[in-house]
Amino acid sequence: LFLLVIGSGRMLVTAVGVNSQTGIIFTLLGAGGEEEEKKEKKGKMQDGNMENNQTKVKKQDGAAAMEMQPLKSAEGGEADDKEKKKANVSKKEKSVLQGKLTKLAVQIGKAGLVMSAITVIILVLYFAIDNFVLLKRPWLPECTPIYIQYFVKFFIIGVTVLVVAVPEGLPLAVTISLAYSVKKMMKDNNLVRHLDACETMGNATAICSDKTGTLTTNRMTAVQCYVGDVHYKEIPDPSSIPPKTLEILVNAISLNSAYTTKILPPDKEGGLPKQVGNKTECGLLGLVLDLKRDYQTIRNQIPEEKLYKVYTFNSVRKSMSTVIKLPDGSFRMYSKGASEIVLKKCSVILNETGEPRVFRPRDRDEMVKKVIEPMACNGLRTICVAYRDFPADPEPNWEDENNILTELTAICVVGIEDPVRPEVPDAILKCQRAGITVRMVTGDNINTARAIAIKCGIIHPGEDFLCIDGKEFNRRIRNEKGEVEQERIDKVWPKLRVLARSSPTDKHTLVKGIIDSTLVDQRQVVAVTGDGTNDGPALKKADVGFAMGIAGTDVAKEASDIILTDDNFSSIVKAVMWGRNVYDSISKFLQFQLTVNVVAVIVAFTGACITQDSPLKAVQMLWVNLIMDTFASLALATEPPNEALLMRKPYGRNKPLISSTMTKNILGHGVYQLIIIFTLLFVGEQIFDIDSGRNAPLHSPPSEHYTIIFNTFVMMQLFNEINARKIHGERNVFDGIFRNPIFCSIVLGTFAIQIVIVQFGGKRFRVLISIHVCPALGQVISTIPNSKLRFLRGAGQLSKKDEMHEEEMNEDQEEIDHAERELRRGQILWFRGLNRIQTQIRVVNAFRSSLYEGLEKPESRTSIHNFMTHPEFRIEDSTPHIPLIDDTDIDDEAARKNSSQPSSPNKNNNAIDSGINLTTNMSKSAASSSPGSPLHSLETSL
């Protein structure tokens, strides 16, 4: 940015529009696709036979894309077109759990349909052969209604088998678990914008984190100083500093800094003071406060308008100087800046008594070796504070900077740092234990980044890791033509831990390279944290993007999936824990549900084939489905997480949804329940001395025999629900059961309702058999080695074909599924980026609705070029406090509909102003089966 307040100047424009840095960022965010589509359509309307010109335009667009696309394949233009196409499609890849559940649901649905069809066929054939072949009964017309009733009964039994086989409660469990987790994550400072991100984070294998504000406090603080020939590793007591030196030091810091830089009281009692303005100057002002002095009192004595001369900081002098006029008419200049620059201009230094002594070059070299270098190795930024006195007569030539900024007297050297958040090292250690690799991607210099990474625990001395800057990173990953090659990235990212001096394109390239890598068996699931507009492309490309809720810009928030309301890395660890808890909650319900389904299907199928009637009636199965699907999903999907979730590696995308332990539990409990049910079915009347319910007439009332079977079946499932709380072979199935009051309430409530139904809904309740055996049986099953059960291990396992992105699967099709039903996220980012001028647009549209009535409609002004050329909008003007949910969105939509601007070619323009209301998204996902939700995907598959 070239800013000229007064006078004249020159500037060299090296890039404009989509070729500028801002243009590249918005293109990576997908905001340039709409403009290209409009140009193509406009060209077609002007001349139908413009193939040659269109070819040239495409070539030019391809060349522009080559410059802006950070990761290009070696195939050339065709691959670039694919990348370009992907950039314009909303990121709607199925999450790990969603993909596995979809495949598993299809498998279960097919198996249930086959079992249902076989059941109906066997019943019909058995009835027909028994009556018309063996008994040789003729088909009498008057008996036709009776036969039809039998066939309808067989069909109902088949439908019962199908209903039992299909786990219709699974989508509900997914939705409940996600919604419950999202609500609880709000208390852990995680605002989830996309429900799938909650579960995806549980499978994260890599986190690319920003440094400032995330790993650190974003509060520059003075921690060391060298004053009076003494190096203090901590801020000294004011009494240990010579009074004369202390006075000059306090005046130098208070006056030689922007008066807009202040330290204000905290917003909340017990909080940290607020730093306003330049962070480095805030660190120095904090030093003044630590020395028990008040900088504001000094500023009040010498207000800003009384400062005689100010040399502002610039990249050439790397220092700032302020001249004041003393009461005797003489002048004093205070200077501060980079220690290696300012010390070269010092010829005198204050000693331990506050008196000046000669500061020779060898003294400077010794100070650099013993003071500055140790501070820098600790990740500190060293600032030297100095001053110089000038006589009143003759007055110096203040324009001769070379002579003014020399012969300084050094006061002290201050080491300031952005302290690491106290909870970050422990959080990173938890991530590493959980199998997650944490990488720091920052714009700071490599020495500071490396020092902070060591303090955080990202890197450890003696380990094999890479710590490089953006220039070295590009040299390693690009070929002779300057193109990024995936093979080169694969040689860098596994050992890379710190990437310093990184640009937005570098961050995007790194994230894309890790995601697209085939170096390891499991595809990497990458999470990215960021707060600025420059982080937008990487946040959007990542599997899960974390934006900072306090310091984050609107572009970063819109590109993210989860917003950290406290800008703290430890909140990411909580997101990982909740994500893994979602996965485990679904696995718990799945283990329980499949046990019910296997037993119920076999009982209904076998009973129907042998006795020509299902022991479990359709009405009874409705109750079983209610308690086993709805209630159980609510009970098992609301289990709270614990720290044990972070003690294992991520599941991975290719690992089967049903583990060996789950398979063992399902088969063990299924066999046990089948033995009990078949025993009651075939010899139960003898055990309880009651009438047999087998081979009952067509419309006979419910028998006591089958009531016992129904009640026993329900009770076994109810107590098996407790066993289903543990899916990793834990012995104590009651551990933490009272931490989930919902689970306890549902189990006890279902137990009470079942007693009421059996006692008062039918014949006398006479069974308490086998219901207490289930918890003990779980201990027996746990002793069976998993290695003995190598079959049925592929259920729900994703193949490489299933693992492909949805956009890759549909890249050759004209229509894309639910991803095309939403407005492209790039467009959302585009309009949110122009949030500051929405009010102006609304007013203008109100006038245009009447002004342009009956006239030609004006063209839409949403292109990148117009965005670049609007002088009233600048990126630096955007504030991070603009709300994500705009109360005027509905009015904006109405104004656009009534305005004279042409509508966008996208059919879902209203998605622009739909906001990101979390409650609405959750209700849609749970109630209306919106496209893209787990519920919709499973319903579509089934």
Nearest to 706 by CA among 667, 758, 662: 758
Token code pair at residue 68: 């802006």
Q: Got the DSSP string for 885-911?
A: S-TTHHHHHHHHHHSSSPPPSSTTGGG
Long-range contacts of 292-300 (CB under 8 A, 24+ apart): 292/238, 293/238, 293/246, 293/250, 295/250, 295/253, 295/254, 296/262, 298/250, 298/251, 298/254, 298/255, 299/254, 299/255, 299/259
Query: HSE (CB half, 13 Å, CA atoms) of 381?
Result: 20
CA distance 112 to 118: 10
Q: Looking up tokens 């400062």, which residue turns up?
A: 307
Residue 417 and residue 379 in contact, taking contact as beta carbons nearer than 8 Å: yes
CA 340 to chain centroid, in Å, comes to: 42
Q: CA-CA distances (angstroms) from residue 572 to 376, 528, 577, 671? A: 29, 10, 9, 42
Hey, which residues does 310 pair with through a beta bridge? 322
Question: What one-character DSSP code corresponds to residue 484?
Answer: B
Residue 660 and residue 728 in contact, taking contact as beta carbons nearer than 8 Å: no
Residue 176 and residue 633 in contact, taking contact as beta carbons nearer than 8 Å: yes
The H or E element that residue 775 is part of is helix 773-782
Q: Could you give phi then psi for residue 225, rounded to 5 degrees?
A: -160, 155
Question: What one-character DSSP code corresponds to residue 74?
Answer: T
Q: Got the DSSP string for 188-215?
A: TTEEESSHHHHHHGGG--EEEE-STTTT
- 3-state SS, 661-710, equals HHHHHHHHHHHHHHHHHHHHHHHHHHHHCCCCCCCCCCCCCCCHHHHHHH
CA distance 529 to 543: 11
N-to-C CA span, the chain: 56
Packing angle, helices 33-46 and 825-833, rounded to 10:
100
Catalytic center residues: 210
Residue 442 and residue 502 in contact, taking contact as beta carbons nearer than 8 Å: yes
Provide the phi-psi class of 869: left if phi over 0, else alpha when psi is between -120 and 50, else beta.
alpha
Q: Could you give phi then psi for residue 457, rounded to 5 degrees?
A: 95, 10
Packing angle, helices 570-611 and 660-688, rounded to 10:
40
The amino acid at residue 642 is N
CA distance 694 to 711: 17
Token code pair at residue 594: 């499949």
Q: What are the E-state strand segments in 291-330?
A: 309-311, 319-325
Q: How many other C-beta atoms are found inside a 10 Å radius of the C-beta of residue 734? A: 10
Dihedral of alpha carbons 173, 175, 181, 187, sign: negative
Nearest to 294 by CA among 262, 271, 324: 262
